[in-house]
Amino acid sequence: MPDIPPHADNAIVWRDGRLYLLDQRLLPLKTGFIGLDTGEEVADAIRDMVVRGAPAIGVTAAYGVVLAARNAWQARGPGWRKALEPDLARLAAARPTAVNLFWALERMRGLMAELGAGDPTARLLTEAQAIHQEDIAANRRMGELGAALIEGPTSVITHCNAGALATGGYGTALGVIRSAFAAGKIDRVYADETRPWLQGSRLTAWELGQDDIPATLLIDGAAASLMARGGIGWIIVGSDRIAANGDVANKIGTYGLALCARHHGVKVMVAAPTSTIDMTRATGADIPIEERDPAEVLCCGGNRMGAPGAGAWNPVFDLTPAGLVDAIVTEKGVILQPDAKKLANLMTG
């Protein structure tokens, strides 16, 4: 495989006709890429958490369509559209909660409808690369807008990983943190471990370390006590889907953080591109919440830790009501105290 620097901003790479993904399951102890050649392989990589984070899933899925279409053209020629459908279905089924996945697939389908009977690969690749670059630009804009809300210097808490690894590059929540740290507004980031996959411990701390941003890990249950001690100005998180009324689906544990933040007078900021806002879902109750294998909770490092006979409930996300969110930051602007009217104005403006 080509020489690709193992950096968070290079987690999704198209090179020499292949898609390369930085395998996030290996971090932080190892850095290595997986090369993918088919839509089915991309769907498997999304499902198996090689790549995660709603914007990154959307970007990856777009490249997956390119691979699937190229293979369909080579196998079926002018009949490539019909041959492509099984791969599109696999990609759509890979992760049910992250709306960016479906947004990206629909955008690629829209282009497919405009194409003739010839080889679609080049046009679809241009579109996937545009989605990738637009996401990076949106993240940098969100970083600027979110940082402007922070009065510093202060410390912040973030949950899960909403950095360059979870996006096309730079990050949503970590994009805000990067911009605010550069402006001297953040002096320390507390990263929840984020069980059971430990995205905060393995990924967020790794990203912050690359940028020399002071980081301290928290077990998920310690955040309330830390807020009670003072010195925390904001909770800054990303999102996998935002309903039309401003309810936020994000990594499990976000709801509890928001409740504790309200009690302690700490503000909550959600940074997410407008592709994460799903205006077809009136409230958070309409958002499907993915549940994964109980073994992820019951086992650690391949060894069972849970008591024999015990089961486990393993939802990947929870819902934070809009009333607990102080600001939603998008590339189009900031919504303070979000509600249905404000989101509708943003999305139609």
Catalogue the active-site residues: 240
Which residues make Cβ contacts (< 8 Å) with residue 276, sequence separation at least 6?
54, 55, 99, 100, 239, 240, 241, 242
Cis ω for the linkage preceding 78 (within 30 of 0): no
Q: How many Å apart are CA 180 and CA 152, to the nearest integer? A: 9
Length of the chain: 349
3-to-9, 10, 15, 141, 279 alpha-carbon distances in Å: 15, 11, 10, 30, 41
| Residue for token pair 């003739």 | 116
Q: How many Å apart are CA 140 and CA 80, to the nearest integer? A: 37
Instruction: Name the nearest CA neighbour of 55 among 126, 161, 208.
Output: 161
Q: How many Å apart are CA 46 and CA 40, to the nearest integer? A: 10
Query: Crossing angle of helices 99-114/80-93, nearest 10°?
Result: 170
